[in-house]
Amino acid sequence: MSELGRLALLLAFGCSVFAVGSIAWGLRTGFSGPLRSGRRAVWAVCGLALLAVILLERALLARDMSYRYVAEHTSKDLPLHYAFTSLWAGQEGSLLLWLLILSAYGAAFLFAYRKRLDPFYDAVAMVVASVMVFFTGLLSFVCSPFRILATPPPDGMGLNPLLQDPGMMIHPPILYTGYVGFIIPFGFAIAVLLTNRSGTRWIEEVRRWTLFCWGFLGVGILLGARWAYIELGWGGYWGWDPVENASLMPWLVGTGFLHSVMIEQRRGMLKTWNIVLIVLTFQLSIFGTFLTRSGVLTSVHSFAESNIGPWFLGFILLSATVATALILYRKALLESENRMEAIVSREGSFLFNNVLFVALTFATFLGTVFPVVSEAVTGEKISVSAPFFNRVNVPIALALLLLTGAGPVLSWKRATASVLQRNFVLPVFMGALATIVALAFHVTGVYPLVCIFGAAFVTTTIVMEFARGIQARRSVERAALPGQVAHLVTKNKRRYGGYIVHAGMVILFVGVLGSSVFQKEAHGPLRTGQSLPIGPYTLTLRGVTERQKENAVHTTAIVDVKRGDRFVATEHPAKALYTKSQQPMTEVALHVTPAEDLYMILGGLNEDGSASIQAYINPLVSFVWLGGLVMVFGTVIAISDKMRLRREEKAAA
């Protein structure tokens, strides 16, 4: 079977090369035959990648230890569902998943535009196929998942315990769906430059593809944060780890693009900038994979390290060079059609918001790679971690929060003094009021107060926008308020979907503020019957148990939780010792309320028989997850908007 797997990947490589060559020939000559053949080759790559995945999954589920990949990432005592998900536990399997998603995007793209005869779409397919050449080549010649061991071991090395978590069953595929999806916007951008296409229809199409993968990347990031919160047991969910940063960077630039693309659609401006943002988003997606897979930087999320780093670096440099050369070559195509009428306008605010998104990305990038650069220059090892990013990134993020409120209430082209007064007085007043209330509750410090001001400011602008929309429709709309809101959103999904995303962002900021600034901690060794007070809670150890569960020995503390005098729950923080790897893992116990999480960890058992219990009160963490859900909801609404390009074009003309 391994030969069949290798053959499938080799054929996929051949089909990818054929697709690129055939489509390129068709585009050059104008013949439809080569274009059709090229499209079919892209479909074939998708089928072959699926076949390769099925073959590897078969080996993983059967624990066929003759496969090196299976022996390195599974063991006979590994539960079946984790044997299935160990496809993305190692480098070769992850790359195969990358290829499968990439080729699925290629096939989905061809299916979506199957009735379009425009060769422009073939050019996009050619770009996708070019990226397929890279991945099929890597999997065929550099790191095949189908390598066979001369002497199969009796049992495998087992799966990394960190990956034996239900979250890990969906987090990587969702994150990859986001990462890999940026190939389509990248394909559009390169195709525009290759075919010298000036129209605006592609912009609406690319916006929807970008929203789709941006949404998935966002969900993937949130799931990763949730995984870190539950599985790593340090009381937080975001540690500015290199791999976390790698996923955040394309999301940030993608967010910038989703804003500036509106200017191109409305006013025909910022064309070069938009192409640059698309290219950068894709490059950062590849860079993320490079960081995760190369082992250049130490990370709690790096589960596979190898020597494929130079290949990725070469690919990033090559694709960046081609994109830059094309942008310069097609400079005339990207000339703005209109001129800015006033700096104080929505266009102006979007441009400044783009500056902040790119600045935040740059700060994250610099902080992430700086340890490597610094060591190369000075020879001294340094760390750039959460303390740095909290000092540098937080203020930029707060500035972005303020602009989130300002942008939507500024009018296009020019915001007059009366518009500014009408739209800003109430939000500023509400922001100031919230700040005063926070001060009255003894909240101090510049960042928390600016965050509170910003949250109230943005919330007010969003509410005002909804209120205005409802007011405008009052003459034709007789339904109750919820119905009016629903109709309003349905009438302009893109606009109000965007506002809902902003609302989600505000909720997320409030959650981050609460959980990072107002966190409480208590720890101590507890004997049975002893208590540990933390905030309004009292934790009492009732005993410790030990039992074998699947492939690990679980040592569990039984802890009674009281709030004041009222019994709340019995929680079970535990430590799991995986028998195969002898690696201890923390099993966090969480008592969740809307206002706060009580987070408990069993540090271990001491020689005197006491249990080390560490507890945190993390206020408003549920707001982080809720904010994420609201953002997803808003994205789904925005993405379902019908094509409004024609109407806008008529208005512009």
Partner 1 sequence: MKPFIGLVTLILLGSAIPSFALDKDPVHQVTDQIICPCSCGEVLTGCICETGVSMKGTVENGVKAGKSKKAIVDGLVAQYGEVIRGAPKPEGFNLIVWIAPFLATLAGFAIAFMVLRRMVQRRKAAAAVVSPSAPGTIPFPTARALEAEAEGLRERAEAELRELKQGS
Positions 436 through 475 that interact with partner 1 (CB under 8 A): 442-448, 450
**Rounded to whole angstroms, how far apart are CA atoms 430 and 424?**
10
Look up residue 314 and give its amino acid. Answer: G
Shortest Å distance, C-beta 221 to partner 1? 19
CB of residue 387 to partner 1, shortest distance in Å: 4
Collapsing DSSP to helix, strand or coil, 576 comes out as strand
DSSP-H helix ranges across 182-308: 183-195, 201-227, 242-267, 271-294
Does residue 385 bind partner 1 (CB under 8 A)? yes
Distance CA 586, CA 483 (A): 47
* Span interacting with partner 1, options 39-47, 115-123, 474-482, 560-568, rule CB under 8 A: 115-123
When binding is defined by CB under 8 A, the residue of 388, 463, 538, 636 that contacts partner 1 is: 388
321 binds partner 1 (CB under 8 A): no
Q: Does 521 bind partner 1 (CB under 8 A)?
A: yes
Shortest CB 622 distance to partner 1, Å: 19
Q: How far is CA 582 from CA 85, 130, 157, 543, 578, in A?
A: 21, 44, 11, 24, 5
DSSP string for residues in 431-482: HHHHHHHHHHTT--SHHHHHHHHHHHHHHHHHHHHHHHHHHHHTTT--S-HH
Q: Which of 17, 170, 359, 568 binds partner 1 (CB under 8 A)?
A: 359
Q: Does 547 bind partner 1 (CB under 8 A)?
A: no
Among 478, 566, 642, 650, binds partner 1 (CB under 8 A): 650
Do 255 and 221 touch, CB atoms closer than 8 A? no
| Residue of 150, 440, 476, 653 that binds partner 1 (CB under 8 A) | 653
Question: In the set 50, 517, 553, 590, which binds partner 1 (CB under 8 A)?
Answer: 517
Q: Which is nearer to partner 1, 16 or 200 (CB)?
A: 200
Answer for which of 25, 466, 518, 633 binds partner 1 (CB under 8 A) is 518
Pick out residues in 585-624 that bind partner 1 (CB under 8 A): 586, 601, 603, 612, 614
402: contact with partner 1 by CB under 8 A: yes
β-pairing, 566-571 vs 552-563, is antiparallel
Q: Which of 184, 384, 552, 558 binds partner 1 (CB under 8 A)?
A: 384
CB 212 within 8 Å of CB 639: yes
Indicate the residue among 76 and 646 with the shorter CB distance to partner 1.
646
The alpha carbon of residue 343 and the mean position of all alpha carbons in its chain are separated, in whole angstroms, by 32
Encoded amino acid at 369, one letter: V
Ramachandran class of 343: left when φ > 0, alpha when ψ lies in -120 to 50, beta otherwise = alpha
| Separation between Cα atoms, residue 319 and residue 54, nearest integer Å | 31
Which of 637, 639, 633, 625 lies closest to 221 in space, CA to CA?
A: 625
DSSP state of 527: -
Residue 408 engages partner 1 in binding (rule: CB under 8 A): no
φ and ψ at 148, to 5 degrees?
-110, 140
Pick the stretch among 50-58, 186-194, 316-324, 361-369 that binds partner 1 (CB under 8 A).
Answer: 361-369
Q: Which CB sits closer to partner 1, 448 or 511?
A: 448
- Around Cβ 530, how many Cβ atoms within 10 Å? 14
Please state the length of the chain: 653
Please give the DSSP secondary-structure letter assigned to residue 199: -
| Three-state SS at 23 | helix
Query: Is 604 in contact with 580 (CB distance < 8 Å)?
Result: no
Q: Compare residues 85 and 614 and give the one whose CB is closer to partner 1.
A: 614
Candidate residues 275, 334, 398, 615; the one interacting with partner 1 per rule CB under 8 A? 398
Pick the stretch among 11-19, 213-221, 234-242, 527-535 that binds partner 1 (CB under 8 A). Answer: 234-242
Of residues 38-67, which lie at the interface with partner 1 (CB under 8 A)? none
**Number of residues in contact with partner 1 under rule CB under 8 A:** 85
Stretch that binds partner 1, among 8-16, 178-186, 525-533, 645-653 (CB under 8 A): 645-653
Whether 134 and 103 have beta carbons less than 8 Å apart is answered as no
Distance CA 333, CA 271 (A): 9
Per-residue tokens: 377: 């220059």
Find the part of the chain contacting partner 1 (CB under 8 A) among 65-73, 80-88, 153-161, 379-387: 379-387
Q: Which two tokens stand for residue 497?
A: 């979907």
Closer Cβ to partner 1, 151 or 444, answer by number: 444
Q: Which of 51, 300, 590, 605 binds partner 1 (CB under 8 A)?
A: 300
Minimum CB separation of residue 414 from partner 1 in Å reads 10
For partner 1, which stretch binds (CB under 8 A), given 83-91, 194-202, 320-328, 503-511? 194-202
CB of 394 to partner 1, least distance (A): 7
The minimum distance between CB 502 and partner 1, in angstroms, equals 17
Cβ–Cβ < 8 Å for 210, 202: no
367 binds partner 1 (CB under 8 A): yes
Q: Of the ranges 174-182, 311-319, 513-521, 630-638, which one interacts with partner 1 (CB under 8 A)?
A: 513-521
How far is the C-alpha of 165 from the C-alpha of 507, rounded, in Å?
27
* Pair 128, 105: CB distance under 8 Å: yes
Nearer of residues 318 and 643 to partner 1, judged by Cβ: 643
Q: How far is the CB of 194 from partner 1 (least distance, A)?
A: 18
Q: What is the DSSP string of 88-118?
A: GTSHHHHHHHHHHHHHHHHHHHHHHTTT---
- Residue at 88: amino acid letter: W
Nearer to partner 1, 104 or 358 (CB): 358
**Binding window for partner 1 (CB under 8 A); candidates: 207-215, 252-260, 293-301, 627-635:** 293-301
Stretch that binds partner 1, among 77-85, 226-234, 243-251, 541-549 (CB under 8 A): 226-234
Identified binder of partner 1 from the candidate list 32, 33, 118, 474, rule CB under 8 A: 118
Q: Which of 386, 463, 568, 626 binds partner 1 (CB under 8 A)?
A: 386
